[in-house]
A = this chain, B = another copy of it.
Amino acid sequence: MPRPTTETRREQIVDALLKQIAHAGYAGATIQSIAATAGINPGLIHYHFKDKRGILVAAVATLTAYAQARYERRAEAAKTPGARLRAYIDARLAYGDDARTDAVAAWVMIGAEAVRDADVRAVYGQAVDAELRQVRALLRARLAHAGKRTRGAARLAAALLAYVEGVFSLASAARDLVPKGFAADMAQELIERYVAAEPDAR
């Protein structure tokens, strides 16, 4: 059997950290417990990562790369700012063959860990910041394409991001209580009606 590649090893370790966070929280995870979960020697973790925070950074990078890939697959065929925005909303909120509820649950728990742990907060904050920039650009393009003023784009981006985070929380913790498949369509409707009612650009 060939030795696992560096890439595979790192993925194993990242998966083990996410499982540990789900089970006992970030603070409770140790290199020992991550190694035990991954079924590998702790020395191997130190070979691939400087410390626990390094694994967390990789975990957040993995989750955001996965979300970004979902978006890019859907955005490829999009010809207008409206279609690109729709692609983004579907990538984040619609189910599909590539939906991963475990990734969503991991993200919710990283967000909660960010409340209590400054290390996690810094890493999570960078991901949120990058996401906000992307959403802002998508919304600004959508507004401009409709001939509307764009100065509300930053607030609208924060609102959409809050909505996405909240849908993730409810989907993970109270799935049966919310109407099935409401999230993407409602986001689309709320934003399109908001855009339609914005004053024209001068």
Residues on A lying within 8 angstroms of B by beta carbon are 22-25, 27-28, 105, 108-109, 111-116, 121, 124-125, 128-129, 132, 154-156, 158-159, 161-170, 172-174, 176-179, 182-183, 185-187, 189-191, 193-194, 196-197
Contact = CB atoms under 8 A, between A and B. Distances in A.
B22 A24 contact: no
A169 B169 contact: yes
Contact of A166 (B132, B164, B178): B164
Q: Count copies of this chain in the complex.
A: 2
Contacts of A191: 190
Contact of A174 (B114, B169, B190, B196): B114
10 contacts: A22-B116, A28-B28, A105-B115, A128-B174, A155-B185, A159-B187, A159-B190, A165-B169, A166-B166, A190-B194
Given A24-B28, A163-B159, A174-B125, A115 B109 contact: yes
Given A155-B179, A159-B182, A182-B155, A112 B121 contact: no
Given A156-B186, A170-B165, A186-B156, A115 B177 contact: no
A41 to B, nearest CB: 27
Nearest to A198: B193
Contacts of A121: 173-174
B24 A25 contact: yes
Contacts of A174: 114, 121, 124-125, 128-129
A25 B22 contact: no
A158 B173 contact: no
A156 B187 CA distance: 10
Given A108-B111, A111-B169, 6 more contacts: A112-B169, A112-B173, A158-B183, A158-B186, A159-B183, A196-B197
A179 B135 CA distance: 14
Contacts of A109: 112, 115-116
Given A25-B28, A115-B108, A193-B197, A170 B158 contact: yes
